[in-house]
Structure 1
Amino acid sequence: MSFSTLAAPTAAGLLYEFIGPGKVYLLITVLNFSSIIFTMLIKNKGYSVAPKNGSASDSNRPSVLISDMLQGLKYVRNNSFILILLAIALSTTILAQPFRFIMPIFIVDIYGLKADSMGLLVSVMGLGALMGSIYIASLGNRLRGKVLLISSYLSGFSLLLIAAVPLYLFAALIMLPLGLGDAGRRSVNMALIMEEAEEEYRGRVMSIYMLNWGLMPLGVLPAGLMADWVGGQGSIAVLAVLLILFTVWITFKHPEIRRYQ
């Protein structure tokens, strides 16, 4: 994911500039259909997992599916540590990710540049994310709680600096720590959730974790409305301050996070 964020935006920005948006989206459509075709070519090995309780036919009943979902939600509600990690994931998705959607405002209205310049910014962020992922992998099981919090602070302060200084080259420089923070949050948060969840509930917990991407509009829509009222810089500044304040609250309210190895 970090590598695709590094390479794809530059190529997309250049194509957008030279062949126009229509042909770019046509190319995206072709690539999506290609991925579907390649997925269909994957051979089914015939593996199956027998359910722990009941017969195989019982596992297909809607009532069992709903029961499993409710058990997963109950498990998360009763596990405070996992609940905190999910809250961190949701808050950073709502407060940090909208910048990607507000970025065209910065490129066109604030920096006075074109699509290829946006592709370069996102690619620099992808480079930071790639560097962050490599660093997280080298840490092993050490200081992961602190890294999670530091990554969240890094994202918040990076966004605040981008909002405060309306210079393209400065934003390109700040994209590196922004990418580092993004990779740190995603990698460590997902690893801790998978580690803390019991094997029986791991799939259901990770399904709940993935819901936070579907809830991204909860941050994008208010960010867009604020951009209409106070401009792109003001909108991102508000989100950045909220992210920093939330991380401060987590740091002191839940010290078990920063102590986690």
Structure 2
Amino acid sequence: MSGIARASALAPFRIRNYRFQWPADLLTSWAFEMETLILGWYVLVETGSVLLLTVFASLNYVGTLVAPLFGVVGDRIGHRDLLALMRATYAVLAATLMTLALTGRLTPAWVMVIVSIMGLVRPSDLGVRGALVANIMPHDLLLGAISVSRTTMDTARIAGALSGAGLFAALGIGPAYVAIVVLYLVASLLTLCVVAPAKPHPADEFADGPLYRSPLRDLKEGLAYVWTTPRMRAAMWIAFLANLTAYPMSNGLLPYIVREIYGAQQTALGYLSASFAIGSLIGSMVLSLAGGIRVARLMIGAAVAWYAMLLVFAEIQTVPAAMACLMLAGFSQSLTMISIAVILMRSASEHFRGRVMGVRMMVIYGLPLGLLAAGSLIDLIGFAATGTLYAASGLALLLIIVLHWRADLWHVHAPANAR
């Protein structure tokens, strides 16, 4: 049995392109996590404001509203080329921050400006890499490939968080950013090693060619395609809800929780971030080995468990207990997000995948909205009450979504539950 499991987990690596894309995604995710932790702590220490911390965290996602346009571009020029260009952009912006830090000219204002620019591009990275995985993998390996691909983000939150916190504490922000720039550059080169298709997939069989079509028309078709497919629309609503009410607790607010609630330093921030990631990594690995799963039902059950863990987390007052709770929350989060991605990629036809994942990235806009609202609520009613409100309202809205689309999500014979 163990031999079968190992073969199943490693099966995606039989595909040459995947052997290059996976490490490229891994290094990019490591750099993302290091930047988020280092800059979040820097902004909080320099300004002392939880509201400015949530503003900073929100700026990382300003590009979610234009994410569908990245999907259109990916469908036109190829997802490999677009992904390599995006990662080269990250390297340039990180090098700018590195230079400012090493010359002593870095300020919170400069951080906000550069993060705003990066935030226009970065939210689309996950969607474009997902579309590329779907294009290079056979259908029977898609669930395993997406699960293994998800481990790049999970290991990043472990290694990236711990190494980022360690480098920042030991050497300062400038030397830490040297490592981040190197990670982005190597990731860009590995992405270029993926063999792209000879030409992008045609937008539809009646067009003279995708480059002669209106990008706005492509975008409208992608939005309509998602809206008229019930299981895809339901998955999108659940993804939006998770970003609005669940992710703020384990993403942008962690520096505030560590410093103000637990009275700890950046090493504790690394431990908490890594704990969530360890749980997420375990979830990804478990799902990569599993077979015959009714994916929509798994998505629902995992989302309920995620919110239950957040209800507990909102009341915890010590770092060790918070680490255990975040590990369980990360496990449930991983199962939820992988299930959503599988439902979308299995439902989307090949030439719509970029646009579908672009719409998927657009719903991440719920995260900056949730962060900004949380920053104001914490000042008014405190963290515990805000966390409880977010988790309880998210759970209630999740049940409403499931009841409304129960025929598409819960019934055994629904396409979303096909094994």
TM-score computed with the length of structure 1 as normaliser: 0.88
Equivalent residue for 2:211?
60
Q: Verify the 8 A CA contact 2:231 2:405 in the aligned structure 1.
A: no
Deviation at 1:119, TM superposition (A): 0.5
Evaluate the alpha carbon distance shift between residue 125 and residue 40 of structure 1 in structure 2; reply closer, same or farther with a 3 A threshold: closer
Deviation sequence 1:92-122 (CA, Å, 0-9, x none):
0111111211111211111111001110111
- Rounded to whole Å, the distance in 1 between the matches of 2:197 and 2:334 is 35
1:221 to 363, 366, 372: 372
| One of 75, 79, 84 as aligned partner of 2:229 | 79
Contact 1:102 1:232 in 2 (8 A): no
After superposing the two structures, state which structure 1 stretch, 98-107 or 41-50, moved more.
41-50
Residue identity matched to 2:206: N
Change (3 A) 1:232 1:130: same
**What's the counterpart of residue 220 of structure 2?**
70
Match of 1:10 in 2: 162
Report the alpha carbon displacement of residue 138 of structure 1 after superposing the two structures with TM: 2.7
Mark the CA change 1:128 to 1:45 in structure 2 (over 3 Å): closer, same or farther.
closer
- The counterpart of 1:249, out of the listed 400, 404, 407, is 400
1:100-111 equivalent positions in 2, closer than 5 A: 100-111=251-262
Paired amino acid for 1:32: Y
Contact 2:241 / 2:366 at 8 angstroms: preserved in 1?
no
Match of 2:85 in 1: none
What runs of 5+ residues in structure 2 fail to find an aligned partner?
A: 1-152, 412-416
- Percent identity for Structure 1 against Structure 2: 21
What's 2:171 paired with? 19
1:185 aligns with 2:326: no
Aligned with 1:136 (options 266, 283, 287): 287
In structure 2, the residue corresponding to 1:216 is in which secondary structure? helix
Shift of 1:175: 1.4
How far has the Cα of 1:139 moved from its partner? 2.8
- Mapped to 2, the partners of 1:127 and 1:40 lie a distance apart of 26
Amino acid of the structure 2 residue aligned with 1:155: W
Q: Which residue of 1 aligns with 2:198?
A: 47
Of the structure 1 ranges 135-144 and 45-54, higher mean CA displacement relative to structure 2 is found in 45-54
Letter in 2 for 1:224: G
CA distance in 1, matches of 2:336, 2:201: 35
* Local SS of the residue matching 1:127: helix
Aligned-pair CA distance for 1:170: 0.7
| Matched residues, number | 257
- Residue 92 of structure 1 aligns to a residue whose secondary structure is helix
SS class of match (1:140): coil
- On the 8 A contact 2:279/2:331 being kept in 1, the answer is yes
Q: Per-residue CA shift, 1:67-114, capped at 9, x if unaligned? A: 121112122222222111111111101111112111112111111110
- Two-structure CA RMSD over aligned residues (Å): 2.3
For the residues of structure 2 that align with 1:76 and 1:150, how far apart are their CA atoms? 23
Please say if residues 244 and 366 of structure 2, whose CA atoms lie closer than 8 Å, have aligned partners that are also in contact: yes
Deviation for aligned residue 1:193: 1.1
CA distance in 1, matches of 2:400, 2:185: 45
Q: Structure 1: which 5+ runs fail to align?
A: none
Give the C-alpha shift of residue 31 in structure 1.
3.6
How big is each residue's C-alpha offset from its partner over 1:207-249, in whole Å with a ceiling of 9 and x where there is no partner?
2112223442111111111122222222222211122112222
Structure 2 match to 1:176 = 327
Structure 2 distance, partners of 1:11, 1:45, is: 33
Q: Which amino acid aligns with 1:258?
A: W
Contact 1:152 1:243 in 2 (8 A): no
Alpha-carbon separation, structure 2, partners of 1:66 and 1:106 = 42
- Tell me if the contact between 2:201 and 2:351 (Cα under 8 Å) persists in the aligned partners: no
* Secondary structure, aligned partner of 1:164: coil
The answer for the alignment partner of 1:205 in structure 2 is 356
